[in-house]
Structure 1
């Protein structure tokens, strides 16, 4: 589903969308708001690159960050749920990962964690290892995957 189709489907269901992004720096919000008329569906986008921003803007818990690190499904879950709590949205997608260069043995370059929160439903999380594709390609792959998550959430 294209960003335009995501917006059309959300509008038809009366849903508002928020994004919570770290390693993509707002790329999902840009993809959605590049579409004319997106203001009818997109409530807001949070770019929470630092741990402090994740805590201040989305309510991610310091204990969660300390126990799991920023690149983890528990943090992606709290980001997505925080985006719902701190917005007028019904549906939120969150992204936190290591675009590169760099990484570690335990959290390699290209690892990205996603969260998808929908009011009234359990929050979905997953981790995708895109591999060391290079910073730009990892970020674009993460953006595209987040859009696919929104698309799946809007399927009838």
Structure 2
């Protein structure tokens, strides 16, 4: 199986996490991780910050594929879901503008793929991300979440390569 560089994104309207991994033959290694601080300015300014910040990350690290976490829709706070959806849209546009294929994963899918439990907490996921990438590096929660999305995509990608598109309906 060929080597692929994957950008994972955890979209947010205040902080957007990103993680870049390289995967070859089922083994992943950390290339870069961080978060974009987009707390300043109007909502339009913040969305532009997500778009431009991720465009810079894409230019610097040259991923070939991307994966973005889906927005959790909470009926109690629909306004927050709407704002997160806008940040997610800006992230998807940055990837699409660069010509990257974009895969999308629900938070529960990411938690299940990384920690073996669709209801795992952030600490469990962060711990498994460090184990899977063989790093002791302390990562911001947003960056760790983005790496988890990238790792999920790497796992799904390898499974698809081995099984064809049979799993496409289940994983999107």
When the two structures are superposed, what TM-score results if normalisation uses the length of structure 1? 0.38
Which has the larger Rg?
Answer: 2
Point out which structure has higher relative CO (alpha carbons under 8 A, 6+ apart). Answer: 2
When the two structures are superposed, what TM-score results if normalisation uses the length of structure 2? 0.36
